[in-house]
Each structure stands twice: as structure tokens, then as C-alpha cells.
Amino acid sequence: MDLVEILPDILPDRLHMFRFPIGQAYLWCDGEELTLIDAGHKDAAADIEEAVRGLGLRPENIRRIVLTHCHRDHVGAAGELARRYGAEVVAHRLDAPVIRGEQPVPEPVLLDWERPLYAHGLTVEPAPATRVDREAEDGDLLGFGDGARAVHAPGHTDGSMAVRLPHHGVLFTGDCVAGVGQVMLGVFNTDRERALESFRRLARSPPPSPASATATRLTHGTDAVLRASADRGSGLQVEHG
Ligand SMILES: [Zn+2]
């Protein structure tokens, strides 16, 4: 295990984060049933399997892979893992044709300071064409996490989606939100204004239910940070523009 850093203690027994040299993925556990949120780069399957086993879990129990959007560092290993374990691949309707390889990956409108970062991101190999079994729409139940729902959050790509687990107070933001020391609007957006709208919508969403003490503690902090960042509004551009 040298390509994946496991951050296992976000919500012990429930939520784990796998961090790759570029990009990250999350593992959600409903008992033995596992859901991957994003799937790392093209060659990450073996590392993800090893990471799952390292947590004392079975990759054979990966039931679904939810892709937050069509980018290579999120889709990469999804097809291979889905094939191996018969997992369902879920993505938003508008990014599904890109993930399947039927449409080109949309070009972002880059700010000057984003260009070197973007070039670095392209050192990851493109994702292979990947089947999508289910196309999600805003508000759809996704079948895990005691009521996980898709939240359409366009702007990074047209079909970017966040995933909210109200029962657990967890929000997977995909690349709509970046957390690099500070919480800020994600980079490499195809439509920065729409991305900012999505960011604000996520920040305004109702706070999580207090169903889980641990999760609530975690996300109260996160929600507050997200709201504060959205409130800074144009600051998001000024800080880095
Ligand atoms: Zn992305």
C-alpha cells in the first residue's frame, strides 16, 4: 500500500477516505454492504481493494459505485471494480454519456492560476470508457446510507452531483467544493458561475438531522465552514483570481 493513504477515522465503521496522489474516493459501509463514492484513477483498482481489505472489509461486498462526475481521477477504476464485483455504477444523467465514452470530456474554462494545477491533473491517465448502470437525477434516492440522495450540483461539469446522507449528516461534494487547508469553490469548472451557485446551494441546504451524534459533530463544523465560505461569496474569486 503505497499509492493510497487511508484516513479511516472520519466516521469509524461507516466512512473512510482513500487519498490518491491525485484525487480521492470514499467508502461508505452499511454493515457489510459497501458503496464507493468515486473510484480514483485508472490503475487504482488493486490499491482500492487492498485498502478495503486493510480496513477488515471485503471488496467483494462493493455493491455500487457512485460517481460524482466524469473526470478521470474519479471514474478511473470504476469500470474494473464494477466488473470484478458486479457493482452498480451510478452517475448523473448529464455526465453519463461522457463516462461511457460517448461524448468528450468537457473542457474547463481555466483561470490563470488554475493552469499549472490542471496540467498536473492531466498527468493522470484518462479513464477508460465505463458503463453507467443507473442515471441519477436531482433528489433521487441512491439505495445506501439510510437514504442517500443525489444533489445535482452543476458547474464543475454539467452532470456533477453531490450526495447527501441526511440521516448521518454527511455530504459528499465531489469537486464542487475543494478542501485544501480552507474550504473553497472547486477548481477547473466548465461554468464557474453555475459552480458558485451550486456551492451556495450546498451550503444553504438544511443542516443534517441529529440522527448520529458522531456525524452531527462532524458536519456541524463542516456546514459552518461551508456556509462561511459561501457567504464570503466573491471572496472565493478574489482570494485566488
Ligand atoms: Zn473534477
- Domain of 81, CATH number, reads 3.60.15.10
Tell how far the Cα of 213 is from the centroid of ligand 1, in angstroms: 31
- pLDDT tens string for the chain (241 positions)? 444 566 556 677 899 889 898 888 999 999 999 999 999 999 999 999 999 999 999 999 999 999 999 999 999 999 999 999 999 999 999 999 999 999 999 999 999 999 998 888 888 999 999 999 999 999 999 999 999 999 999 999 999 999 999 988 888 999 988 876 677 888 899 999 999 999 998 888 765 543 333 333 334 455 566 666 666 543 333 233 2
CA 174–ligand 1 middle distance (angstroms): 7
**Span from the CA of 231 to the centroid of ligand 1 (angstroms):** 23
For position 207, what pLDDT does the model report?
53
pTM of this prediction? 0.86
- How far is residue 103 from each of residues 70, 95, 140, 176, measured CA to CA in Å? 10, 9, 24, 21
Domain that holds residue 64: 4-102+109-239
Beta strands in the chain (DSSP E): 5-11, 15-19, 24-30, 33-37, 62-67, 88-92, 134-136, 149-152, 161-165, 170-172, 177-180, 182-185
Q: In angstroms, what is the span from residue 70 Cα to ligand 1's centroid? A: 7
210-213 long-range contacts, Cβ below 8 Å, gap at least 24? 210/169, 211/146, 211/166, 211/167, 211/168, 211/169, 212/11, 212/167, 212/168, 212/169
| Distance, CA of 211 to CA of 157 (rounded, Å) | 32
Pull the grid cell for residue 218: 462532524
Calpha distance 169→172 (Å, rounded): 10
Residue 188 CA, ligand 1 centroid: distance in Å = 7
Rg (CA), the chain: 17
Ligand 1 centroid vs 17 CA: distance in angstroms? 17
The environment of the single-atom ion ligand 1, i.e. residues with CB closer than 5 A, is: 71, 175
CA of 43 to the centre of ligand 1 (A): 17
115-124 CB burial, b ≥16 within 10 A, e <16: eeeeeebeeb
Q: How far is the CA of 152 from the centre of ligand 1 (A)?
A: 14
Q: Are 218 and 11 in contact (CB under 8 A)?
A: yes
Number of structural domains in the chain: 1
CA of 110 relative to ligand 1 center, distance in Å: 13
Residue 82 CB partners (closer than 8 Å, separation 6+): 65, 88, 89, 130, 131, 133
